[in-house]
Amino acid sequence: MSKSLGKNLKSTEGSAVLLAEDITVAFGGFVAVKGMNLKLHEHDLHFLIGPNGAGKTTMLDVICGKTKPMSGSVKMADGTELTRLKEHQIVRKGVGRKFQAPSIFAGLTVQENLTLAAETRRSPLQTIGIRRYGKMSVAMEHISLQIGLQDRINARAGALSHGEKQWLEIGMLLLQEPRVLLLDEPAAGMTDEETHKTGRLLQEIARERSVVVVEHDMEFVREFAAKVTVMHEGKLLKEGTMAEVQADPKVAEVYLGKRRDDHAVAATN
């Protein structure tokens, strides 16, 4: 690790596992992200919020390699530059990404989905050929308990509720042993009970790794976020605890000016 990187990755908040610096992304003539910085620490439960089009999902896309930035760097704690790697290489470096829609094998059981993830240790959708096993490993048993699907282990994934499908995919990612887990609106479309269970699950996951969540549900953010980064027009607007973010007049102005709805008002009270 270079001396400069080592200095940047040290903080009073604890050791940093990933550092994104001066990220700029453009699509044609539209600049989606402008000079954005993001530092992730060990055991973070870090939420990215902001109006639609703020660049939140694009930042996750850059970290996982789906989108290449025009400029800037994304480095792991060991100095690995992720922007030079392909998506599957970034997965192997310890970055797991979950998109908003669950990506599971609907025709397989919960156990078979977990088995596939455990055996490949890469994105399940990249795997050709599916092997079926009759016995779960210790890790799979632990994950099935953690995601609350231990009693649904023989159920077809396609028969699960929306929330259960989301938990299954999270479990599949955990079996790939990521150091950083990126989630895009994991609670979207869930019942209140499922949403609360998801928040508790994310808190438990953050005890062992760093979790980054893009989210629009401000009640969910308020209840479960340890740290919040607010983005606006592709740039960093504010970062801190939820209380610090709520108290910032710039954040109130952005939400009240761009999203005149109940969630926006609640987010600034």
Q: Which of 180, 181, 1, 176 is nearest to 81 (CA)?
A: 1
Q: How many CB atoms lie within 10 A of CB 219?
A: 14
Mean pLDDT of the chain: 87
Instruction: Decide: 168 and 110 in contact? Cβ < 8 Å.
Output: yes
The region of weakest confidence among 23-37, 143-157, 194-208, 255-269 is 255-269
The region of weakest confidence among 85-89, 96-100, 131-135 is 131-135
**How many domains, the chain?**
1
pLDDT of 135 reads 59
Decide if 130 is inside a domain: yes
Domain span at 154:
101-177
Structure tokens at 81: 């530059």
Decide if 58 is inside a domain: no
Decide if 166 is inside a domain: yes
Decide if 250 is inside a domain: no
Decide if 127 is inside a domain: yes
Looking up tokens 């740290």 gives: 227
Percentage with pLDDT > 90 across the chain: 75
Decide if 111 is inside a domain: yes
Decide if 215 is inside a domain: no
**What is the reported pTM?**
0.84
Decide if 200 is inside a domain: no
pLDDT of 257 reads 61
